[in-house]
Structure formats: C-alpha cells, structure tokens
C-alpha cells in the first residue's frame, strides 16, 4: 500500500458529510475537577446517533431534534457524567463547565482472560498483567515483540536462518505459552510462536498476560501461561476512519526508495448504528533487512514483506449479540545468497506464509443469573519454501536440489461453548466444552496426520464472606492419538488481608499435547536428518504461585501499588529435540523426564496527575538437569539463575498536548550447564544486556498525533555466548542475535470520526 493511497483514503473519508436533522443545539465545555479541559472525551445523547468528541479546549457542540434527552460524557479513567437536557427548536442550550470526576476504581483494570465475563483486576482470582492501548501507541511499535520485550519474565530468541522469532515466558519456551486472539487459540506450525508477529498491532486494544498454567480453561500449551490479544471495539461514533504512517531506520540503514529500513502504513474504517457494526483494516509492514556483518547480497537479518488484513461484522440484539472477524496474513521472508565466484549463481529462498483465521462468536444473556457464549473458529495456515537460483544476468530458475522446495499446511477447527450461572451472590459456576480438530500435510510431514481433542471443564467460584474467594476447576479430556491425562485440576484463590492488601494463590496441573510436527516431522537433506516421534507422551506439570498485592495509596490523583510474587513449576515429560538414542545420526523429539522453574517477581506502579511509572524486577531459576547425578558430574547447583529489572516512565505535558516516554529493561546473563561428550560438564553463559526505547508524542490537532523516538538506545545487536554447541543448522553456539541495533522512527496517527 502506497503512502498516497493511505492519504487519499483519509482525505476522501474526511470530506464525507452526513445529513443532519434537528432544530436545536447543545454546546459546552467538559473539564476535570481541577479545571483542566478534557480532550477527546465522547459526548452523546443516549439512545440516539447524536454525539461528538471534545476538542482541544474541552469544547463540544451537538445538533439534535427538539425534545428531552440524557446527555452522557465518557472518558477512560473517569466516571460517566450524566445530565438530563431539554433541546428546544431554534435555540442553543449552553452548558458551562461540565465537570467529570475521576473514577476511584480506575486503577481496577477490567480483564477477561480466564474470567466468566469482564471484571476488575482487583476481583479476579488470577494475577493478570495488562498493557493498554495508550501504552501500545506510545511504544511506536510495528509488531508485538517490540511491545513485550521490556516486560518482566519475557524474552525472545531469533532464528536468523529461518527468519523466525520465538517467545519465552518465566523461563519456559514458546511451546509452553498459549497465544490467544480474543480468547481463541492461534495456530502455529510447530513449537515456535510465529503467530505473535502476525497480528495487526493497529487493531489491538490491550494485551493480557497470565503467568502459570491455565490448562483447565484453555487446554493444551498453557503450561507457562497465556498471552491474550484483545482487539479494538467501537468507540461509539457512527463512522471512524483511522490511518497510520511510520518510517523507521534499521540500525543506520534507511532509504525509502530501495526499501531499506522499516516502512509501516495502515488504514481502518468502522461504521455502526445502534444494531450493526462493520469494520475493516489493512496494514503493510515492509522491513528491508539489515546488512550487519554480511557482505554482498546476503543480510544478517532477512527482508520481510507483510500484509495484514482484518474485517469484522457485529449485530447487537436486546440480550444477545453475534459477530464475525477475519484475520489474514500474507508474509514473505527473503533469504538472499551471495553469488558463487565461479558460476556467478546466487541461491535465494523465499519463505511465504499465509494465514486465514475466521472467527464467529455469539453471546446471550438468558437472565440475570444465566448467560452463555459460543465461539467457532477455522484457521488455514501454510508456509512455503521457494528456492530459486539467480544467474549473473538476473535470470531466475527453480532450484532442483533435494528438499529445496516445501509447503506445509496446517488447518484447525475449534469450538468452545460456555455457560455461566450465578446460583447465589456467593456461588457461581462456569462450565464449558472444547472441541479441536487439527490436520497437517506437506513434504516434510509424514503422511496427512490429524489429531482431535474433546474436553469438558467446570470452574465454580465460591465467596466466603467478604474475605475469601476460591475458584477450583476440573478439565476432562480425550485425545484421538495419545492417552491424555483423564482430569486436569486447579484451584485459585484470593484472600483480602486488609482493605488495601490482597493475597492471591494457586495450584494448577498443566499439560501440553504433542504437536503434529513433533509427532510426524520428516526432513532429511544434506544438512538435516530430523524425524518426528509418534511415541511421545504428553507433557504435564504441577505449578504453585502466590502474589501479595498492596494498594498503598489510592486517591484521586495519586495511586501507588506493589505486587510481590513467587512461583514453582515442576514439569514432567517435557518435549525437546535431541539425538535419537537408537540412531546417533538422527535428530528427533524426546521426552525429558524432569524440568523445573522457580522465581520471584516484584512490580511497583505509581500513577500521578501527569506521571505514570513502574519499576520491577524478577529473579528466575531454570533447572540444571546434571544436578541429579552427582556421582557422574559432581556437586552442581539445582537451579541456574538470571535477574531482570525493568522500568517504564510516561510523563504528559497536558498544556501543550505532548509527552515523553521511556521503556527500559535489563536482562541479566543467562547461565546453563552443558556437555558435549556426556562425561564432562561445564558452565556456559549468554551475556546480559540493556534494552531501552525513548519516544516523544505530540497532539498536532484534534485528529492528528505525531510520534517519534529512538529504539534500542544501547545499540545492542548480538550477545556473547560461551556455549560450545556449534553443530547443526540451528545450533545455540556462537553469538546470539538480538536486534539490528539502534534505530530512529517518526510516525503520524490520524483518527477522524463522525456521529
């Protein structure tokens, strides 16, 4: 999508005029308790399509037919302001200094992950971390990895050979992390969570992160935790047009005409009335790669071209609603080879990914005590490897080398139905069923295998007075391929120690089914000899966690909270890749008998009038498997530990509509014990590093915001790594790639709405 196309869409939408009816006007000014104008608040007449947003001075003006109305003013973090008004023909009703008050519950963020419905974070038995839309916007990010890379307990690993990035949560790799889009599982072709980089960031409202197993509610893969991506809903306007343009360097490389650097453009349109809502978004991400230390045509970081599409429709009934959402991904990662000095031929590879994700969901409120929800999704995901040779004249032909061409297809049909019944104020029950059907095929997949899984889960919630809330849970499941655990239990609780001090605690048994790729993978060429293992067992874990949450200050313009947490996880039959004990020349997937993680976290948040800040730290230990055999390897520590420290500082200059924002994280060195001969063990380390982004934002007008900044302030590109594992195509030895260095960006966010 070209810049000119984006601007044309915006300009054409901006000149749309809607016919207005009515014979009177309402006008006024919305201010805060301290007399400051409230900018961008939604002002509307209840039960009508008449409304607007407040301007730079808090001003508003609404045209409406003669009659009596209820005027409502809404803005995030404040109580709704409600006022009865009378519009008279030919007259203007002036409302001077309409004051909107900050909500005392504004710190109690609303969460949905693992809940029967939206509820405040304070009332949830789960410890949920949230990243809201404003923080996402102020990062200037073009992908989710940039948002999450300064969060405690989250790290990313990059495979520059395949151009993929995987996530690690609380010491566990991506295969143990469940990625959800609006509560529905995302499909990946293997253990790497590539789906995180294939979600349109311009459509995200917030991100919810739950640490620890959520297997009772969400099933397989949720051993380490859940990352739930919540997309934007309507803001109440009848027509909204949004556009975004951002240009960014790749380290010190940038040229918009040769595609060097990162180029992001997006446009979205939403229309609605009282019953129907229609929306659509298109985003283009173009990353020209990064040369780094490579020479010639080759690049350290491969170029990536990405088109992301979303479309949605929603119908709202009196007590029910139904909506459909489509997410599409068209992605190409390009490997450029250097020319052979003798033949002049260069070998290139294109990794083409296509994802079509359809989701239909319906909610119904049967009564004040009973509501139900159903969701059906279908994912068609494919990744194709296209290998070509380019001669000195630029002529391109298909490579005929064995294994050079490949296409893998993964399809998943998913259904979840839930019902929530409130028996009494102190007892409720969430019950549901999950049905999942996975199919796969491809040149590197043995046959055309499929796996089906069926589950029933029960999650009651019991309140004991005003002090204790308990939420036990059970999941019963059946798998078509392997013997699944017959029942998966959990129990979570929240104990109110005082009015400002809460204790959350929980135990959960997690599990992960072997993926199709782990069971049936079949890849053999000159550099690879990898086979799946149909005898794999399901992973399972026993996990314990607790969090002490202290709301030390809770006033209108000053809020301070601290959260101290600890966890201990024991994993059995963990699936990992290793040497086949029956054939040392073959690599396969194996069950590791035992693995553990443990750690502590501390997070402090402060909200003042113009300042939001947080500072936290974590200390995470990963199990050293050699410690179990002191006779062979000597006395070794049971865990190897790694620290993290992070801080976020967001300061707003309200009078000039600007802000400065700092996002920082230190990730300490990561030790690991390893052996190359099964006799001698040595300690290897990956170096620690600092990661920081600095951004500046400025409101240029009612519709336009400017954002600029610097990413990766410390210019980190790779990490020293003392591991001796240097064998294989994707070994862990040598320098660990982290980023393409310090980069600079500038962007415009444009949003226009019409009531």
Q: What is the pLDDT of residues 502-543, one digit of tens each?
A: 999 999 998 888 888 888 888 776 666 888 888 888 888 899
pLDDT-derived band at 77 (thresholds 50, 70, 90) equals low
Q: At residue 238, does pLDDT exceed 50?
A: yes
**CA atoms within 13 Å, Cβ hemisphere of 518:** 25
Greater confidence, 744 or 579? Answer: 744
Sequence-distant (6+) residues with CB within 8 A of 705 are: 697, 698, 699, 748, 749, 750
CA separation for the pair 123, 493 (Å, rounded): 10
**Sign of the dihedral defined by the CA atoms of residues 185, 189, 190, 196, in that order:** negative
CA separation for the pair 637, 480 (Å, rounded): 40
Helix (H) / strand (E) element for 662: namely: strand 658-667
**Sign of the dihedral defined by the CA atoms of residues 37, 39, 42, 43, in that order:** positive
At residue 187, the pLDDT reads 86
Q: At residue 140, does pLDDT exceed 80?
A: yes
CA separation for the pair 455, 180 (Å, rounded): 18
At residue 321, the pLDDT reads 93
Residue 686 CA from chain centroid, whole number: 26
Residue 118, beta-bridge partner list: none
The encoded tokens of residue 60 equal: 């508003």
Q: Which of 313-327, 431-445, 583-597 has the lowest mean pLDDT?
A: 583-597
At residue 133, the pLDDT reads 86
- If you count them, how many residues does the chain have? 755
Q: At residue 117, does pLDDT exceed 90?
A: no
The encoded tokens of residue 530 equal: 């990898």
Q: At residue 390, does pLDDT exceed 50?
A: yes
Q: How many CB atoms lie within 10 A of CB 584?
A: 8
Residue 137 CA from chain centroid, whole number: 14
Sequence-distant (6+) residues with CB within 8 A of 51 are: 42, 43, 44, 45, 62, 236, 237, 755
At residue 342, the pLDDT reads 92
At residue 658, the pLDDT reads 93
Determine the Cα angle at 199 with ends 201 and 515, to 5°: 150
Residue 76 CA from chain centroid, whole number: 22
CA separation for the pair 8, 26 (Å, rounded): 33
Phi (first) and psi of residue 248, to 5 degrees: -145, 145
Q: At residue 159, does pLDDT exceed 90?
A: no
The encoded tokens of residue 617 equal: 């730290």
Q: Which of 171-175, 315-319, 424-428, 615-619 has the lowest mean pLDDT?
A: 171-175
At residue 102, the pLDDT reads 55
CA separation for the pair 207, 209 (Å, rounded): 7
The encoded tokens of residue 231 equal: 């997309």
Question: Among residues 601, 627, 460, 623, which one has the least CA distance to residue 129?
Answer: 601
Residue bearing tokens 């020293």: 720
**CB–CB of 441/404 below 8 Å?**
no
At residue 11, the pLDDT reads 39
Average pLDDT over residues 411-436: 95
Describe the chain by its helix, strand, coil percentages, rounded to 5: 10, 60, 35
At residue 18, the pLDDT reads 34
CA separation for the pair 5, 9 (Å, rounded): 6
Residue bearing tokens 């609006």: 182
Average pLDDT over residues 492-500: 94
Q: At residue 569, does pLDDT exceed 90?
A: yes
Average pLDDT over residues 23-39: 80
**Residues 685-735: pLDDT tens digits?**
999 999 999 999 999 988 899 999 999 999 999 999 988 764 444 445 578
Determine the Cα angle at 234 with ends 231 and 240, to 5°: 110
Residue 335, beta-bridge partner list: 349
At residue 580, the pLDDT reads 81
At residue 15, the pLDDT reads 36
CA separation for the pair 19, 334 (Å, rounded): 50
Q: At residue 275, does pLDDT exceed 90?
A: no
**Residues 622-640: pLDDT tens digits?**
999 889 888 888 889 999 9
Secondary structure string (H, E, C) spanning 314-356? EEECCCEEEEEEEEEEEEEEEECCCECCCCCCEEEEEEEEEEE
Q: Which of 42-46, 330-334, 379-383, 475-479 has the lowest mean pLDDT?
A: 42-46
Q: Is the pTM of this model over 0.75?
A: yes
Q: Which of 5-19, 207-221, 304-318, 467-481 has the lowest mean pLDDT?
A: 5-19
**CB–CB of 566/211 below 8 Å?**
no
The top-scoring range by mean pLDDT among 97-106, 193-202, 347-356, 527-536 is 347-356
Percent of the chain with pLDDT over 70: 92
The encoded tokens of residue 688 equal: 């620690």
Using CA atoms in the order 554, 559, 560, 565, what is the torsion angle rounded to 10 degrees? 80
CA separation for the pair 710, 696 (Å, rounded): 9
**CB–CB of 510/543 below 8 Å?**
yes
Domains and CATH numbers, the chain: 3-99 (2.60.40.1120), 229-754 (2.40.170.20)
At residue 16, the pLDDT reads 36
DSSP alpha helix (H) spans, 88-234: 133-139, 144-148, 215-218
Q: How many CB atoms lie within 10 A of CB 293?
A: 11
The top-scoring range by mean pLDDT among 173-177, 246-250, 534-538, 627-631 is 246-250
Sequence-distant (6+) residues with CB within 8 A of 90 are: 23, 24
CA distances from 300 to 250, 295, 338, 343 (A): 12, 9, 12, 23
Average pLDDT over residues 531-559: 88
The encoded tokens of residue 42 equal: 């939604």
**Residues 297-341: pLDDT tens digits?**
999 999 999 999 999 999 988 889 999 999 999 999 999 999 999
At residue 558, the pLDDT reads 84
At residue 49, the pLDDT reads 65
Q: At residue 742, does pLDDT exceed 70?
A: yes
Residue bearing tokens 């404003």: 134
pLDDT-derived band at 575 (thresholds 50, 70, 90) equals confident
CA distances from 17 to 65, 238, 755 (A): 18, 12, 10
CA separation for the pair 652, 613 (Å, rounded): 12
- Long-range CB contact pairs, 550-556, < 8 A, 24+: 550/500, 550/501, 551/107, 551/122, 551/500, 551/501, 552/500, 554/104, 554/107, 554/500, 556/33, 556/102, 556/104
Q: At residue 81, does pLDDT exceed 70?
A: yes
Mean pLDDT across the chain: 87
Determine the Cα angle at 324 with ends 322 and 329, to 5°: 160
Question: Among residues 645, 508, 554, which one has the least CA distance to residue 105?
Answer: 554
């Amino acid at each position: 999508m070209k810049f000119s196309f984006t601007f044309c869409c915006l300009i054409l939408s901006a000149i749309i005029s809607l016919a207005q009816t009515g014979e009177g006007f309402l006008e006024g000014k919305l201010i805060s308790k301290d007399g400051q104008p409230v900018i961008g608040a939604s002002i509307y007449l209840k039960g009508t399509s008449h409304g607007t947003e407040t301007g730079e001075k808090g001003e508003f003006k609404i045209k409406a037919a003669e009659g009596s109305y209820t005027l409502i003013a809404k803005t995030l973090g404040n109580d709704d302001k409600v006022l009865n008004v009378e519009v008279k023909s030919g007259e203007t009703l002036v409302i001077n200094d309409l004051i909107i008050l900050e909500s005392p519950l504004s710190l109690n963020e609303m969460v949905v992950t693992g809940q029967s419905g939206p509820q405040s974070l304070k009332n949830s038995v789960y410890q949920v971390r949230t990243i809201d839309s404003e923080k996402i916007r102020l990062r200037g990010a073009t992908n989710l990895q940039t948002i999450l890379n300064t969060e405690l307990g989250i790290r990313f690993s990059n495979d520059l050979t395949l151009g993929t990035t995987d996530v690690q949560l609380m010491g566990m790799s991506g295969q143990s992390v469940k990625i959800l889009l609006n509560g529905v599982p995302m499909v990946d072709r293997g253990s790497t969570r590539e789906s995180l980089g294939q979600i349109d960031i311009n459509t995200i409202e917030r991100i919810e992160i739950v640490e620890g197993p959520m297997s009772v509610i969400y099933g397989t893969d949720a051993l380490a935790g859940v990352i739930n991506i919540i997309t934007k809903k309507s803001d109440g306007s009848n027509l909204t047009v949004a556009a975004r343009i951002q240009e960014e360097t790749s380290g010190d490389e940038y040229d918009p005409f040769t595609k060097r650097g990162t180029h992001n453009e997006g446009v979205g349109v939403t229309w609605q009335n009282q019953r129907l809502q229609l929306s659509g978004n298109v985003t283009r991400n173009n990353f020209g790669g990064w040369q780094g230390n490579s020479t010639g045509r080759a690049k350290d970081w491969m170029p990536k071209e990405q088109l992301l599409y979303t479309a949605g429709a929603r119908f709202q009934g009196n007590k029910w609603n139904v909506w459909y959402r489509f997410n599409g991904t068209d992605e190409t990662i390009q490997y450029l080879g250097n020319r052979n000095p003798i033949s002049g031929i260069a070998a290139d590879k294109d990794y083409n990914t296509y994802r079509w994700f359809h989701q239909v969901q319906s909610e119904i409120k049967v009564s004040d005590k009973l509501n139900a929800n159903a969701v059906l999704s279908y994912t068609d995901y494919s990744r194709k490897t296209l290998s070509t040779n380019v001669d000195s004249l630029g002529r391109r032909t298909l490579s005929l080398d064995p294994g050079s061409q490949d296409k893998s297809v993964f399809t998943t049909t998913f259904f979840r139905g839930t019902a929530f019944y409130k028996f009494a104020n102190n007892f409720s029950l969430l019950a549901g069923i999950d049905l999942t059907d996975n199919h796969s095929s491809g040149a590197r997949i043995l046959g055309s295998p499929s796996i089906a899984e069926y589950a029933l889960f029960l999650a009651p919630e019991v309140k004991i007075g005003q002090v204790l809330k308990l939420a036990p849970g059970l999941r019963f499941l059946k798998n078509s391929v392997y013997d699944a655990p017959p029942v998966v239990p959990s129990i979570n609780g929240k104990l109110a120690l005082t009015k400002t001090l809460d204790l959350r605690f929980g135990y959960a048994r997690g599990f992960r089914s072997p993926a199709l790729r782990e069971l049936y993978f079949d890849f053999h060429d000159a550099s690879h000899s990898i086979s799946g293992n149909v005898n794999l067992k399901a992973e399972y874990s026993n996990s314990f966690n607790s969090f002490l949450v202290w709301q030390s200050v809770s006033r209108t313009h000053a809020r301070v909270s601290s959260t101290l947490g600890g966890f201990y996880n024991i994993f059995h039959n963990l699936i990992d890749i290793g040497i086949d004990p029956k054939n040392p020349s073959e690599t396969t997937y194996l069950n590791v008998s035992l693995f553990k993680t443990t750690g502590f976290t501390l997070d402090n948040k402060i909200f003042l009038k113009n300042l939001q800040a947080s500072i936290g730290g974590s200390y995470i230990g990963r199990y050293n498997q050699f410690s179990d055999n002191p006779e062979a390897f000597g006395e070794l520590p049971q865990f190897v530990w790694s620290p993290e420290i992070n801080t976020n500082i967001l300061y707003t200059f309200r009078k000039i509509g600007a802000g400065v924002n700092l996002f920082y994280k230190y990730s300490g060195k990561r030790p690991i014990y390893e052996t190359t001969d099964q006799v001698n063990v040595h300690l290897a380390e990956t170096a620690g590093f600092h990661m920081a982004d600095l951004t500046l934002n400025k409101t240029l007008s009612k519709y336009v915001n400017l954002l600029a900044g610097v990413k990766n302030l410390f210019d980190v590109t790779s990490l020293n790594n003392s591991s001796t594992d240097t064998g294989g195509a994707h070994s862990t030895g040598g320098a660990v790639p982290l980023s393409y260095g310090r980069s600079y960006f500038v962007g415009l966010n444009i949003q226009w709405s019409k009531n």
